[in-house]
Structure 1
Amino acid sequence: MITYIALLRGINVGGHKKIKMADFRLLLKGLGYKEVLTYIQSGNVVFKSKVTDHRKLENEISKAIKKQYDFDVAVIVKTKTELVNILKNNPFNDLDDLAANKVYFVLLKDIPQKRSIEMAS
């Protein structure tokens, strides 16, 4: 079994897209995931699965939420190793005054289109 972290976009923010974490854990257990743990009301969840395809897990969770709650949610699934590597590969790790508790990173669901990158530059 592989340990995964699923990050859900915009859950329980400002009273919108409400999902009780106890219900969410049951939903994921119903999908066959094991050792399901949620973090506060964020929609972030750790679980184990035999499935090795991240996209399959993302789609499965998104579809289950749509069916149960009737709203769309972007889901990103990563392994613990992938998240640790993101932090280790931080290009600012060598800065002496970098506080470990103030490191942030952003994950994108998909590769942005060239036009979007140009507009953001």
Structure 2
Amino acid sequence: MVTHLVLLRGINVSGHNMIKMEALKQLLENMGFQNVQTYIQSGNVFVDAEEEHGATVGFKIKQEIFKEMGLEVPTVVISKSDLEACFANNPFLKEKELDTKKLYVAFISKELNSSHLNDLKMSQFKPDEVHIDSSRIYIKYAVGAGKTRFDQKYIEKKLNVTATIRNWNTVTALLNMYNI
């Protein structure tokens, strides 16, 4: 069995794509996943599966949510090693007096490289800052996530990917859950 962290994009936000976590848990258990555990209402769920490939797990879950609930919900699946690398490689964590409430991570559905930074045209979002590492974009918002146009929709459009953003406190909690 392999434990996968499945991040569902865009559920339970401003009354859209509403999925109760208990209903999601039941749906995933009915699919055969074991040890299903959700974290808060924004679509973070751990599942144990025989399938090793996260992309396959995410695709099956996306298909089943559409079939059973009629909702188009993109997924990004994160392994424990991916989440550990997220902590090891976040350049903003080296800053003194960092306000983690302004720190976010966009998890991306495919590998990125430094040339993708040009595609994001970050100069128009100053003083927000970003750093790309593999399939993650580390974001430090100058004011806050609610006051910027640099969001998941923008990232998806510019890079032609599926992206889902989590704040640093959620990322920290998810890593702690992986370690339990």
TM-score normalised per structure 2: 0.59
Q: Where does 1:1-121 land on structure 2 (aligned, <5 Å)?
A: 1-99=1-99, 102-110=102-110, 118-121=118-121
Following the alignment from structure 2 to structure 1, what is the Cα–Cα distance between the partners of residues 33 and 96?
41
Count of matched residue positions in the alignment of Structure 1 and Structure 2: 118
Change in 2 beyond 3 A, CA 1:80/1:108: same
SS in structure 1 opposite 2:35? strand
Partners of 1:33 and 1:90 lie apart in 2 by: 31
Q: In structure 2, what residue type is equivalent to 1:55?
A: A
Shift of the alpha carbon at 1:64? 0.3
**Separation in structure 1 between the aligned mates of residue 5 and residue 43 of structure 2, nearest angstrom:** 10
Distance 1:10 1:119 in 2: 23
Question: Contact 1:6–1:44 (CA<8 Å) still a contact in 2?
Answer: yes
- Aligned residues of 1:2 and 1:79 also touching (Cα < 8 A): no
Backbone CA RMSD of aligned residues:
2.0
Going by fraction, where is strand more abundant, 1 or 2?
A: 2
Give unpaired runs (5+ residues) of structure 1. none
C-alpha displacement of 1:18: 1.1
Question: SS where residue 88 of structure 1 aligns?
Answer: helix
**Residue 3 to residue 69, structure 1, CA distance change in 2 (3 Å):** same
Query: d(CA) in 1 for partners of 2:42 and 2:76?
Result: 13
- Structure 1 residue 39, shift from structure 2 partner: 1.3
Higher RCO (CA < 8 A, seq sep 6+): 1
Assess if the C-alpha contact under 8 Å between 1:74 and 1:109 holds in 2: no
Does the residue aligned with 1:55 lie in a helix, a strand or coil?
A: helix
Q: Which runs of 5+ in 2 are unaligned?
A: 122-180
8 Å CA contact 1:34–1:47 kept in 2: the answer is yes
Structure 1 Cα separation of the partners of residues 5 and 119 of structure 2: 31
- Give the whole-Å Cα distance in 1 for the aligned partners of 2:94 and 2:19: 40
Taking a change above 3 Å as real, the CA distance of residues 103 and 84 of structure 1, as seen in their structure-2 partners, is farther
Identity %: 34
- SS of 2:106's equivalent? coil
d(CA) in 2 for partners of 1:84, 1:42 = 21
SS in 2 for 1:107: strand
